[in-house]
Amino acid sequence: MTNDIAAAASATALPLAPGNWALDPFHSSVNFTIRHLGIAKVRGRFERLEAELFVGERAEDARVSATVDLASIDTGNADRDAHVRASDLLDVQKRPTMTYRSTRVSGEGEDWTMEGELTIGEVTRPVTLAVEFGGLVEVPMDGSRHAGFEATGEIRRSEFGLDFAPGLLGEVVKIQLDMQFVEPKND
């Protein structure tokens, strides 16, 4: 019994209401940075994503999943985007989506860590993201409550079989996610 009480006391409570939080796609984005020729950064984003946040009673119960449409890449240059989608690079016909599924969430206050599995095509690898909780705010227009998060991390392209254009493109891709989720309504 004492171990159960100690475990319950050490469990981190979340400042969010339990339930399935809906993504606010108009205020969320998936961005990336990769080096070109080793001397400059190319920045881009993916326009289409879906994500779900399940909040339990404790941080340990939280789960996040997200799916990104890889064909929705936007680097600000339509010709480059078409080339990146092609079979000699990203090959969106073979790899239409990128998915992330959390396996563990830990932290407190504003600073959290989310461990999970990232899948691109048929390759799945562990990826850990540093997560900053931006806060919880009630929207004046409709009374809904939104929670904001920023998650950052990096992946190595070769670990996902994306080792095309070595020397032209960097090995490391830095990821930044800015996400808002809407609190579930208690009906």
With contact defined as beta carbons under 8 Å apart, do 2 and 39 qualify?
Answer: no
pLDDT at 76: 93
Q: Give Cα 180 distance to the centre of its chain.
A: 11
Q: Give me the mean pLDDT over the 71-82 stretch.
A: 94
Locate the DSSP E strands across the chain: 19-23, 29-36, 40-46, 49-55, 63-69, 73-74, 97-108, 111-120, 123-138, 145-156, 169-182
150 has pLDDT over 60: yes
- How far apart, in whole angstroms, are the C-alpha atoms of residue 142 and residue 175? 32
Q: Report how far residue 18's alpha carbon sits from residue 158's, in angstroms, rounded to the nearest whole number.
A: 38
| Bridge-based pairing state of the strands 40-46 and 169-182 | unpaired
- Choice among 67-81, 138-152, 158-172 with the minimum mean pLDDT: 158-172
pLDDT (0 to 100) of residue 100: 96
Pairwise CA distance, residues 81 & 122, whole Å: 22
What tokens appear for 44 in the block?
């881009």
Evaluate if residue 17 carries a pLDDT over 60. yes
CA separation for the pair 122, 124 (Å, rounded): 7
| pTM of the model as a whole | 0.84
The Cα–Cα gap between 126 and 170 comes to 20
